Structure 1
Amino acid sequence: MARIAVIGAGTGAMAAAARLAVAGHRVAVYERTETYGGAVRRFERDGFSFDTGPGLLTLPAVWRDLFVKTGKEPLEDRVELLQVDPSSRHVFADGTEVSLPNASRAGVVAALDEALGAGAGGRWGDFLVRARESWDRSRRPLLEEPLWPNWRVLAEREPYPAVPHKRLLRTRRAATLAEIGAWELRDPRLTALLESHALAYGLDPEAAPASAAVLPYMEHAFGTWYVLGGIRELARVVYERCLARKVEFHFGAEVTAVLEKDGRAAGLELADGTVAEADLVVGTGPWRLGELVRGRELYGVEDVEPRPEGGAGGRVVVCLALRGAREAGAAHRTVVHAPDRRAELDSFGLGEPPARPTVRVDRPDDPALRPDEEHESVVLTATVPSGTLYDWTAPGAADSFADRMVEAAERAIPGLRERTLWREVRTPVHTEAETGAEGGAVPAPALAAAEGTFLYPANSTRIPGLFSVGGWSHPGGGLPHAGMSGALVAGLIVEGPDFRGSQ
């Protein structure tokens, strides 16, 4: 039985802690804030509650597996999972609207044909078939296995089977998500639908590899799910599962250094001078973990090296407390697409928030989130540059951008401003305070191809006994990937370096 110290109480770290405790280890978690969950937070006021991190869940099987592997009580005995239908409603720049059924290819094809014209649904359906092939080729090495030592194979091979495209007497294949939209989907609204999945993770569709086709495929194939009471409830039950398995939590405990003995990780030093001895250390993101090891290199020149977190996108969240009941049949999630795609993407390249952003509108039909049936809780989310690229603390910066988000959201909810009792605006500054991520950036899932630009460092490091977990290490960001990160770290510790992945 080993003593294991875990830095941070994010969802990935807790997933690792629960699995390690079940394996018989003594696990202690040191979290610098006063609560668990990392980016999976909740804002509450006047009887209203809001998810300020992820609003929906894909691949719930990752979390079901955690509960199966750590106890007799399954996930559905702890929370109620609801499949959202439609999975999303889309309001395009030209005013066209479409609601997409959840996890139904035939239903999606029919809905797109009816809304966008004959043939649109077929092109999207054909794209999903190719996206499935990309998923089948990359799922295991990018989600279920430790990062391969020969990771360059993943970097060099594009798993998406792009359709040949003849251009200027040459035949080319789409190498980026934007090229898939232009050459294969051939409709600006389908392109917007495709690219919105990348934007939600802070990815530039013109830079994201074609392999990013797996992002809409995950939602289509495995459904979109909501946790009754809010996604924060998922973090709560994972925390409670850790407590049930005797994991110790120390809140308000900021780690200032990883201690070493005889060349191995041997514990933690805390801001108050306390030393927590350990046989193994499970750390936070590699970029920040590198600052805690005092001159040691976590990775070699042949490894995927940590990149500054602040270069990734962040998000602005606007919590709206509304008077008036939620109308019957309202979609849980509506994506209001930017009226000018080119201008939105150009603004990201300049490190500035877009003048007219794409906005995700979440309207859960959940009594737990509102004081009574005569009020409604709504969350608006937009992807923005992180706090290292844009000063979100500048006077008026947050509120003026929130105004533009509300203006966009009124295309989905007419009269939104007149119904607003109050609002809470949260920027990358809040994300940085809650997660520690530089500039409040949010990690995207790992993606194949693009010379490894979208891969993350391995969970094991060059320092024996020191591991990295969470969205900034393999297999990247997002709730499913965070859960798998915890599973991979636990497997590497319990089974050793010969561990070949989750079954």
Structure 2
Amino acid sequence: MARIAVIGAGMGALAAAARLAVAGHRVAVYERTDTYGGALRRFERDGFSFDTGPGLLPLPAVYRDLFVKTGKEPLERCVELVQVDPSSRHVFADGTRVSLPNASRAGVVAALDEALGPGAGQRWGDFLVRAREAWDRTRRPLLEEPLWPNWQVLAEREPYPSVPHKRLLRTRRAGTLAEVGAWELRDPRLTALLEGYALAQGLDPRVTPASTAVLPYMEHAFGIWYVRGGMRELARAVYERCVARRVEFRFGAEVTGVLEKDGRASGVELADGTVAEADSVVAGVAPGVLDRLAAGHAVRGDGEVPAQRATASRLTVLLALRGARPEGTAHRTVVHTQDREAELAALFGTAAGNAHPTVTVLRPDDPHLAPADHESVTLTAAVPARPDESYGALAEDMISAAERAVPGLRDRLLWHEVRTPAHIAEATGAAGGAVPVPALAAAGGRLLHPSNSTRVPGLFTVGGWAHPGGGLPHAGMSGALVAGLIVEGPDFRGSR
């Protein structure tokens, strides 16, 4: 039985802790805040309840596997999973609206043809076929296996099989998501649909590789899910599974250093001066925090994937509305920007704020979230990772955009609460409140994340800032990969 010290109680760290405890190790988690879940937080006021982190769950199989591998109770006995249908409703700049069914390629094709005109659905369907090929080529190395030592192969090869396109007397292939939209989808509304998946991650579609096509493919192929009571319930269930497996938790325990002995990680030092010895240390922290904790030790070496410095964050506006949720309301509506260029310039350029952003409106059909005959609504938009910026005007812009999806919104509004990048920074420790993106192939490795192993024997990294990157499924897989590396050693080749 080895002693494992886990720094942080984010979802990746919790997943690793549960798996390591089941393998017979003695696991202690040290969390500087007073609760678990990382970005999966909850805000409550006047009987209203809101998720302030991710509001939906793609690829629930990751957490089903976690619960199967760590106990007799499956995930569905611990939380109520609800498949969201339609998966999303879209309001485009020209006023066109379309609802897309969950996990049904044929249904999506038919819906797009009806809303956007004949041929639109077929073009999107053909795109999903190509996206599936990119998924099949990258699924294991980017989600289910430790990062390859020859990771440069993933950085150099574009797995998306783009269609040849004649341009200026030359035949070219799309290398970016924006080019896929312009050359293969050939409809500004389909392009907005595609680019929305990048924008939701804080990625610029003009430079994001075509391999980002795997993000819409994952959703269309495996569906999108909600946890009854709010996504915070998923964090609760994973935490309780850890407790049931005798993982020890210490909240309000800030780790100030990773100890080393004989060239190997040997424990952690806490802010109160106490030392916790360990045979291995698992760090679920942002890159800058890890560098500080391992001061004097070279965590990453030349030729390895460098720590990613994400520049985008998330602004969340929580709306308490009087009146019940109308029958037939979509759980998720994406209100696309009416000025794409202004949005991109504000988010990825030098302009302050974020002009007319694409806004995701979440309206769960969940009586646990609001008093009777009232409704909790959550708005999110990508913003630059600048926690000291004032976001009042942008929050008002988001509410105005949401009125296109929620008729009479301002007349129903009791109050609203704004959660800024500063709140994310406080919860996760990430500089600027930056939100990590999922690992993606191509782009010279710019969107890969560092290996879960480090140059310091016995020190491992887990969570959104380590391989395979940000997002709930990826966090869960990072926990599985770290547990595999510790239990089976460096010959571990990934999830089966």
Q: What is the TM-score normalised by the length of structure 2?
A: 0.99
8 A contact 2:308–2:465 mirrored in 1: no
Alpha carbons 2:348, 2:384 under 8 Å: kept: no
1:441-464 C-alpha deviation (Å, 9 max, x unpaired):
101100000110100000000000
In the TM superposition, 1:419-458 aligns within 5 A as 419-458=412-451
Corresponding residue for 1:306? Answer: 307
Equivalent residues of 1:55, 1:226 under 8 A apart:
yes
Could you give the per-residue CA deviations for residues 412-458 of structure 1, whole angstroms, max 9, x where no partner exists?
A: 01111111101110000000000101100101100000110100000
Deviation for aligned residue 1:349: 2.3
How do 1:200-215 and structure 2 match up within 5 A?
A: 200-215=200-215
Deviations 1:69-101 (A, max 9, x none): 000000000111110000000000000000000
Query: Which residue does 2:171 correspond to in 1?
Result: 171
Equivalent residue runs for 1:313-462 within 5 Å: 313-351=312-350, 352-372=352-372, 374-387=373-386, 391-392=388-389, 397-462=390-455
| CA displacement at 1:256 relative to structure 2 | 0.7
Distance 1:441 1:458 in 2: 20
Q: How does 1:47-86 map to 2 (within 5 A)?
A: 47-86=47-86
Q: Distance in 1 between matches of 2:348 and 2:90?
A: 25
For residue 176 of structure 1, report the CA deviation from its aligned partner: 0.5
Residue identity opposite 1:146 in structure 2: P
Aligned partners of 2:268 and 2:386: how far apart in 1? 28
Question: Does the 8 A contact of 1:43 with 1:49 survive in 2?
Answer: yes
Structure 2 residue matching 1:221: 3-state secondary structure: helix
Please give the alpha-carbon distance, in whole angstroms, between the structure 1 residues aligned to 2:220 and 2:422: 32
Q: Please name the residue that 2:298 is paired with.
A: 297
Give, as a single letter, the amino acid of the residue that structure 2 aligns with 1:240. Answer: E
SS at match of 2:58: coil
Tell me if structure 1 keeps the 8 A contact 2:82–2:228: yes
Distance 1:162 1:287 in 2: 37
Unaligned stretches of 5+ residues in structure 1: none
Deviations 1:273-299 (A, max 9, x none): 111111110012343212111121111
Take 2:128 and 2:431, find their aligned partners in 1: how far apart are those partners? 35
Identify the residue that residue 243 of structure 1 maps to in structure 2.
Answer: 243
Q: Secondary structure at the match of 2:451?
A: coil
The aligned counterpart of 2:91 is 91
| d(CA) in 1 for partners of 2:207, 2:461 | 27
Q: Distance in 2 between matches of 1:153 and 1:134?
A: 14
Find the counterpart in structure 2 of residue 477 from structure 1.
470
SS for the counterpart of 1:109 is: helix
How many residue pairs get matched? 494
Task: Specify the alignment match of 2:124 in structure 1.
Answer: 124
Give distance in 2, aligned partners of 1:465 and 1:65.
Answer: 25
Over aligned residues, Cα RMSD in angstroms? 0.8
For 1:10 and 1:438, locate their aligned partners in 2 and report how far apart those are by CA, in whole Å: 16
Deviation at 1:471, TM superposition (A): 0.2
- The aligned amino acid for 1:290 is D
Identity of aligned residues (%): 76
User: Shift in Å at residue 350 of structure 1?
Assistant: 2.1
Contact 2:286-2:429 at 8 Å conserved across structures: no
Q: Does 1:143 align with 2:121?
A: no
* Structure 1 consecutive aligned stretches of length 4 or more whose deviation exceeds 4 Å: none
The correspondence of residues 265-304 of structure 1 with structure 2, limited to 5 A, is: 265-283=265-283, 284-304=285-305
Aligned partner of residue 159 in structure 2, secondary structure: coil
In 1, Cα distance between equivalents of 2:461 and 2:148: 15
Give the Cα separation in 1 of the matches to 2:476 and 2:69.
12
Q: Which amino acid aligns with 1:212?
A: T
Cα deviations by residue, 1:164-207 (Å, 9 ceiling, x for unpaired): 01111111100000000000000000000000001111111111
SS in 1 for 2:57: coil
Whole-Å separation in 2 of the counterparts to 1:349 and 1:338: 15
Amino acid corresponding to residue 412 of structure 1 in structure 2: A
Distance 1:377 1:353 in 2: 26
**Post-superposition CA distance 1:28-81 (Å, at most 9, x none):** 000000000000011001110001111110000000000000000000001111
Structure 1: distance between partners of 2:428 and 2:82? 27
Look up the match of 2:232. Answer: 232
CA distance in 2, matches of 1:11, 1:350: 32
Counterpart position of 1:21: 21
Q: Residues 302-326 of structure 1, C-alpha deviation per residue, up to 9 Å, x if partnerless?
A: 1101133xx4210000010000111
Q: Helix, strand or coil for the counterpart of 1:425? A: strand
**How far did 1:371 drift?**
1.2
- Offset at residue 353 of structure 1 (A): 2.8
Residue in 2 that maps onto 1:9: 9
Report the secondary structure of 2:469's partner residue: coil
SS across alignment from 1:400: helix
